[in-house]
């Protein structure tokens, strides 16, 4: 009975110390984030904003409210095709919404979607010239510049219908940027899009993508995700957390100890993934706690979580 009391007291003291440390770390993080947010707002004010969405809300799918400023030369990814397509439809005027949407800088939008098709019996050059003229683009070399930009300068006189699918997608992208848009809206980006994305960013085009593919989100600067209609914004650099992968000999006892000391973890068939803010601080404490309870480990590894794991944890996706 005494030993059990001492163990409970020890666990309580350790939990309390960790809670204090976590609270201090959370306070520092919050202060840093506030400072960075203030700097970001000032930076947005100083630079051109390609697209500004303020207090946007939709009925179907239900989006309570979302606000974001898409800066020129950045990629903002919306995680969730349903919500992403709806936001793009609202921006382009195909869906009713409440709120304010403004496109600044050059004043144009470009859209790149799987559902877009061009004129099959026109050549590549004729398609680009047609859409350039529709936007009143008068630069004589603009079409040739786009052909070179996309690496299809040798296909200008080929009929669109005779192109391979990968080249058709390049031309659709060309149509989306021939008028020098301030922002490019992209549903489910194709591989051809990612091949030129750095050149698009260098051209100071703000890019908004909608996708379910977390690997594509890895290439974004910021991510918007939704849960129960509420929007959550993540910066890519801050989404990666430290993770300690444990393989204890006695799984059930290890889980009991983690619960007792208040660690956040995910148990699976072959091990336990323990979520921590800083593995350098957490590993000594974790190992000592397990060894005191006679729990030996087959292995211990440090992992950096990817976007998918980070989103699942942040949004509490089962």
Pairing mode, if any, of strands 49-58 and 242-248? unpaired
pLDDT at 107: 55
Residue 275 lies in a domain: yes
Sign of the alpha-carbon dihedral angle for 146, 191, 186, 307: negative
Q: Do 137 and 192 fall within a single domain? A: no
Residues 200, 251: one domain? no
* Neighbour order of strands in the sheet with 271-276: 264-268, 271-276, 242-248, 297-304
If one counts every other C-beta atom within 10 angstroms of the C-beta of residue 92, the result is 13
d(CA 15, CA 5): 15
CA distance 252 to 268: 12
| Same domain, residue pair 131 and 190 | no
Number of domains in the chain: 4
Domain contains 55: yes
Same domain, residue pair 165 and 131: yes
pLDDT at residue 104, rounded to an integer: 67
DSSP 221: S
Separation of alpha carbons 209 and 221, rounded Å: 11
String of DSSP letters for 233-253: EEEHHHH--EEEEEEESSHHH
Residue 268 belongs to a domain: yes
Q: Which domain holds residue 11?
A: 1-41
| Tens-digit pLDDT string for the chain (318 aa) | 444 555 666 666 777 777 777 777 777 777 777 777 666 655 555 467 899 999 999 988 889 899 999 999 999 999 999 999 999 999 998 999 999 998 865 458 999 987 888 999 999 999 999 999 887 887 778 999 999 999 999 999 999 999 999 999 999 999 999 998 999 999 999 988 999 999 999 999 999 999 999 889 988 999 999 988 888 888 776 666 678 899 998 899 999 999 988 888 888 888 998 878 778 888 998 998 899 889 999 999 987 766 777 777 667 654
Residue 214, classed as helix, strand or coil, is helix
């Amino acid at each position: 009975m005494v030993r059990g009391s001492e163990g409970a007291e020890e666990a309580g003291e350790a939990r309390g110390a960790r809670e204090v440390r976590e609270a201090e770390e959370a306070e520092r993080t919050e202060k840093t984030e506030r400072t960075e947010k203030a700097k970001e707002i000032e930076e947005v004010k100083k630079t051109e904003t390609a697209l500004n969405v303020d207090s946007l809300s939709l009925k179907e799918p239900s989006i309570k409210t979302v606000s974001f400023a898409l800066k020129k030369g950045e990629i903002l990814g919306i995680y969730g095709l349903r919500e992403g397509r709806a936001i793009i439809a609202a921006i382009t005027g195909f869906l009713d919404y409440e709120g304010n949407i403004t496109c600044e800088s050059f004043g144009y939008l470009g859209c790149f979607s799987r559902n877009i098709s061009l004129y099959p019996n026109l050549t590549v050059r004729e398609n680009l010239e047609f859409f350039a003229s529709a936007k009143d683009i008068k630069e004589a070399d603009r079409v040739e510049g786009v052909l070179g930009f996309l690496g299809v300068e040798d296909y200008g006189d080929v009929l669109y219908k005779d192109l391979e699918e990968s080249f058709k997608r390049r031309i659709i992208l060309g149509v989306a940027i021939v008028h020098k848009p301030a922002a490019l809206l992209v549903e489910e980006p194709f591989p051809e899009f990612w091949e030129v994305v750095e050149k698009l960013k260098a051209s100071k085009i703000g890019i908004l993508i909608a996708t379910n593919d977390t690997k594509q989100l890895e290439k974004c600067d910021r991510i918007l995700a939704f849960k129960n209609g509420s929007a959550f914004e993540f910066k890519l650099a801050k989404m990666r957390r430290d993770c300690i992968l444990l393989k204890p000999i006695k799984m059930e006892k290890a889980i009991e100890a983690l619960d007792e000391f208040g660690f956040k973890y995910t148990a699976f068939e072959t091990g336990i993934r323990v979520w921590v803010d800083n593995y350098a601080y957490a590993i000594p404490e974790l190992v000592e706690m397990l060894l005191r309870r006679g729990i030996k480990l087959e292995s211990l590894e440090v992992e950096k979580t990817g976007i998918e794991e980070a989103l699942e944890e942040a949004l509490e996706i089962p």
